[in-house]
Structure formats: C-alpha cells, structure tokens
C-alpha cells in the first residue's frame, strides 16, 4: 500500500503503551512501521518511564497521570501494576479521546485505538466511544493461550490445557509444556482475574497484532485461531520491519564503546550476556556467573544493568581477582546497543533471560542461545528456543560456576554447539524470507493496513 493512500484518507492511530522497556521498544517500533504506511500516530503513555518525545518528532505524544511514582509497587508485580494503570489512566484516557473526537477533522480522523494487551482498559474505552480497538501482543502468539489456558478446567470460559490439546495434538504445544510454564495448579485469584480480563479484551478486539513470525509458531497459531475470533496479524519481528533510521527507544543510555571492543575480537568467539530490563538476582548468582565466565576462557560482553543485583549499585561486589583474571577478555557495560551487538560478527552466543524481544533479536541474527528464564513469558521463550526451534541450551537449576563454564563451552566450542549454531543460521534464513517481499510478515503488514482502512 502506498503511503499516500492512508494520508489522503486522514487516518490517525492512537497507540497506548505499557511503560516498560520490553513493551516500549516493540510499541514504538510498531508506531514507526504504521507511520511508514502513511498513518498519523499519537502515542499515549503513562508518565512513568516516559519515552523521549524529542527523539520522535514524527509522532504526537500524550502523557497520562498514573500515580506509579508515588506507589511502592514492585516492577515485577504485574498484577498490581496493570491494575494501578487501569485505575489511574482509564478516565483520563477516555477524556482525552472524547476531546480528540470532537475535533472532527476529515484529514485527521481517529481510525482506531492500538493498545498493548496489558493496557486492556483501552479496549473498554474504545468500546465506549464506538471506536475499533486493536490488541497488540509484544510477545509470542502462544501468550494468547498462555493467558486463557489453565492447568485445570475453570469456569468463566477458561480453557483447560488438556482440552486445548485434545482435538488436535500439536507437538509444538506439547513441547511448550504449559502445565510446567504456568506454574502451580493453584493460581492466585488476582492473577486468574487478570488473565481473564486480558483475554476478554483480546476477544473484543477488532484485530490482534503479534510481534512474531508465522512459521515460528505455526501449530500454536492454529490453536489460537480456535479460541480467538478476531483476525490475527503476525507482522514481527517489529524491529526488523521498522525503517532502519528509527531512533533508539532505550530508556537507559547505550554504551557504544562495547562495539569497538567487539571489533577487536575473533568471529563468533564472544558470548554476550544480558538479562533484559526487569530481572534481578542476588550477589551469589552474580559471583557464580562471573567465575563461570572467567573459567570458560571465552571472551565475553556482559550487561550488568544498575539494579540487576539486589542490594548493590553495579559491579562493586565482583572481586579484584576476577577483574584481573578477565582483563582484556571481558567487557562489562551497564546497557548495550543490543541489536547492534547481536548483529556483530564477533558474537557467537547469547546468554539470555529469553524476554521475547531478546529472543526475536537473537533469532533474526542467527545467534544460538543459552537460556536462563526467570519469570513471566520467559519460560515460554526458553522452551521455543531449546525444545521447538532447537537453537539453544537451557541452563537449569541452581546457578553454579562449574555448570556455567560447561554450558558456555558446549554452546561456543563443542560439537553440540556447532549443530545448534547451524540450526540458528537456518532459522535466520527463514526469518529473512519471512520479512522480505511476499514473505508472511511483509504480507501480513499490508493486510493489516488494508484492514485498518476498512474501519
């Protein structure tokens, strides 16, 4: 579709962001993609973790009061966060949209509300104002089932895992092992309610956009279609479809000095370690990782985000003997330009918490992974990587330096690692095809644009 087409019809999309790095990145990438298709964009976001407006002069921004800075909610308490955002943002969002709709400019008409699935109140507001809502999954399509499926049958329209697999046994879904990922059979009521609310909003949406590629989750996709009636557009990974000129969406400053350090390393020799923006660990884990890296004798680039280690500012807990041992062979930064790092020829492996963005970024560069999931959808990401696509190894159980050293060597130098690397390269080629002209993500994006124009 030509850019002019949407512009001349005056279509504005209102995107609602969930304010955490792993959600801000894909939502702003999606905004850039939709803008490149000719849609005008307004980004609505809570004040907390505000994106830098100055970096995106092409968008309009609206900041909603959220009350989060005054609360004591932990960033990992998803239920409390989502509930606080709904309580504080729903009314101001509706008020803002009502004002916007009063300005009936035919050259700048609001076509729909495109919201992060965790900002489910946006669908309610869209319904109230008779606007279409499009639900965005910044994670795997499997998370649609993940939120709707439970270890046992429940009322309120939940699906039991057994039921979900009964009609068409799908090896892909068996490998994901929802029973295990979903944790204890007794799920706390507030979490059950959150899953039901998110699922309900998704079912009400006029469409669902997912940051995934169809071939990566083919069997899961068929199952998802059985339970979710709206059209689903898999147009991921967003970071690859976004124009390359798109500005960085990092909340932390990227330390680009690590790129010149990587320039000096041999091809495929470096293991890159990052646990994303939310994971935290204790001092013991930090020290075991450090010695595992030192003893592996591999070069490494390690992101130790301020706040990663509970009770410590940064790496002051690491012993001098470690720093001396790895001098020249290791590079530690507070935050890296991750996409550039993964695309660098020196990087041969990625030890990750398997956040979905990190997983997609690694897949698209053909980098094999060492998986250490902590919470949320990370377990799902790790199962895709290790059991379905078989492009990584899982590091399970207590983190201990000997185990870490062996896992790194297996991935980076042993024959098992060579096979995993081959499969990772194959997966990258398939991803390239999917993103190229007439590939599934490319086509789905055009279909999505047409779908929006049909509202």
Q: How far is the CB of 274 from ligand UDP (least distance, A)?
A: 4
**Spatial distance between the Cα atoms of 198 and 114, rounded to a whole number of angstroms:** 14
Q: Does 240 bind ligand UDP (CB under 6 A)?
A: no
- Tokens matching residue 107: 């050259």
Q: For ligand UDP, which residue of 22, 132, 237, 366 counts as binding (CB under 6 A)?
A: 22
Q: Residues touching ligand UDP: how many (CB under 6 A)?
A: 18
Nearer to ligand UDP, 40 or 211 (CB): 211
Q: For ligand UDP, which residue of 123, 135, 211, 250 counts as binding (CB under 6 A)?
A: 250
- Tokens matching residue 32: 């850039």
**369 with 354: CB under 8 angstroms?**
yes
Residue 232: enclosing H or E segment and its boundaries?
Answer: strand 232-234
**Spatial distance between the Cα atoms of 95 and 359, rounded to a whole number of angstroms:** 38
**371 with 352: CB under 8 angstroms?**
yes
Residue 224: enclosing H or E segment and its boundaries?
Answer: helix 218-227
Nearer to ligand UDP, 115 or 335 (CB): 335
**Spatial distance between the Cα atoms of 192 and 243, rounded to a whole number of angstroms:** 38
Q: For ligand UDP, which residue of 159, 336, 364, 382 counts as binding (CB under 6 A)?
A: 336
By beta carbon distance, the residue nearest ligand UDP is 22
Q: Does 146 bind ligand UDP (CB under 6 A)?
A: no
Stretch that binds ligand UDP, among 120-128, 154-162, 334-342, 416-424 (CB under 6 A): 334-342
187 burial (CB, 10 Å; 0-12 / 13-18 / 19+) is middle
Nearer to ligand UDP, 220 or 358 (CB): 358
Strand ranges (DSSP E) for 275-396? 300-303, 330-333, 347-352, 369-371, 392-394
Nearer to ligand UDP, 105 or 282 (CB): 282
Q: For ligand UDP, which residue of 132, 236, 355, 417 counts as binding (CB under 6 A)?
A: 355
Distance in Å from the first CA to the final CA of the chain: 16
Give the closest residue to 251 by CA, choosing from 228, 272, 278, 274. Answer: 278
Q: For ligand UDP, which residue of 13, 14, 25, 391 counts as binding (CB under 6 A)?
A: 25
Q: How far is the CB of 427 from ligand UDP (least distance, A)?
A: 17
Q: How far is the CB of 120 from ligand UDP (least distance, A)?
A: 18
Neighbours of 191 (CB within 10 A): 12
* Total length of the chain: 455
Q: For ligand UDP, which residue of 351, 356, 384, 389 counts as binding (CB under 6 A)?
A: 356
Q: How far is the CB of 28 from ligand UDP (least distance, A)?
A: 11
Nearer to ligand UDP, 237 or 439 (CB): 237
Stretch that binds ligand UDP, among 18-26, 79-87, 109-117, 316-324 (CB under 6 A): 18-26
Q: Does 236 bind ligand UDP (CB under 6 A)?
A: no
Q: For ligand UDP, which residue of 18, 115, 233, 335 counts as binding (CB under 6 A)?
A: 335
Q: For ligand UDP, which residue of 40, 219, 296, 357 counts as binding (CB under 6 A)?
A: 357
Torsion of CA 216, 218, 222, 228, to 10 degrees: 20
Cis preceding linkage at 237, omega within 30: yes
Q: Does 117 bind ligand UDP (CB under 6 A)?
A: no
- Provide the b/e sequence for 259-296 (b: ≥16 CB within 10 Å): bebbeebeeebbbbbbbbbbbbbeeebbbbbbbbbbbb
Q: For ligand UDP, which residue of 339, 344, 372, 451 counts as binding (CB under 6 A)?
A: 339
Q: How far is the CB of 303 from ligand UDP (least distance, A)?
A: 4
Residues 268-307 contacting ligand UDP, CB under 6 A: 274, 276-278, 303
Q: For ligand UDP, which residue of 358, 370, 392, 420 counts as binding (CB under 6 A)?
A: 358
**What residues line the site for ligand UDP (CB under 6 A)?**
21-22, 25, 250, 274, 276-278, 303, 335-336, 338-339, 355-358, 361
């Amino acid at each position: 579709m030509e850019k002019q087409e949407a512009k001349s019809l005056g279509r504005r999309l209102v995107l609602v962001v969930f304010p955490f790095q792993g959600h801000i990145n894909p939502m702003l990438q999606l905004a850039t993609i939709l803008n490149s298709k000719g849609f005008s964009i307004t980004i609505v976001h809570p004040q907390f973790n505000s994106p830098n407006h100055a970096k995106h002069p092409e968008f309009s921004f609206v900041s909603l009061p959220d009350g989060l800075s005054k609360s004591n909610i932990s960033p990992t308490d998803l239920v409390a966060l989502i509930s606080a955002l709904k309580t504080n943002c729903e009314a101001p969002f509706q008020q803002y949209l009502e004002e916007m709709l009063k300005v009936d400019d035919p050259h700048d008409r609001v076509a729909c509300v495109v919201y992060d699935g965790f900002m489910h109140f946006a669908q309610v507001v869209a319904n109230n104002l008779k606007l279409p809502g499009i639900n965005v999954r910044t994670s795997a399509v499997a998370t649609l089932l993940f939120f709707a499926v439970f270890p046992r049958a429940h009322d309120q329209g939940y699906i039991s895992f057994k039921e979900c697999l009964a009609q068409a046994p799908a090896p892909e879904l068996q490998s994901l092992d929802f029973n295990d990922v979903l944790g204890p059979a007794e799920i706390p009521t507030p979490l059950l309610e959150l899953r039901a609310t998110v699922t309900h909003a998704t079912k009400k949406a006029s469409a669902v956009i997912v940051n995934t590629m169809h071939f990566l989750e083919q069997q899961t996709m068929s199952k998802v279609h059985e339970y979710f009636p709206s059209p689903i557009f898999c147009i991921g990974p967003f970071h690859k479809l976004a124009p390359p000129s798109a500005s960085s969406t990092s909340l932390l400053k990227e330390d680009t000095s690590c790129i010149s350090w990587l320039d000096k390393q041999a091809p495929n020799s470096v293991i890159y370690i990052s646990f994303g923006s939310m994971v935290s660990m204790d001092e013991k884990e930090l020290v075991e990782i450090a010695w595992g890296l030192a003893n592996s004798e591999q070069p490494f680039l390690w992101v130790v985000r301020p706040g990663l280690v509970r009770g410590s500012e940064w790496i002051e807990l690491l012993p001098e003997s470690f720093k001396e041992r790895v001098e020249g062979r290791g590079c530690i930064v507070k935050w890296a330009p991750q996409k550039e790092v993964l695309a660098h020829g020196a990087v041969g492996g990625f030890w990750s918490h398997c956040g979905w963005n990190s997983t997609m970024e690694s897949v698209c560069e053909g980098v094999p992974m060492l998986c250490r999931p902590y919470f949320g959808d990370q377990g799902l990401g790790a199962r895709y990587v290790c059991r379905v696509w078989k492009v990584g190894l899982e590091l399970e159980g207590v983190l201990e330096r000997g185990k870490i050293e062996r896992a790194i060597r297996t991935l980076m130098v042993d024959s098992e690692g060579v096979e995993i690397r081959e499969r990772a390269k194959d997966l990258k080629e398939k991803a390239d095809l999917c993103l190229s002209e007439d590939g599934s993500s490319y086509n789905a994006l055009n279909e999505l644009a047409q779908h929006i124009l049909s509202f």
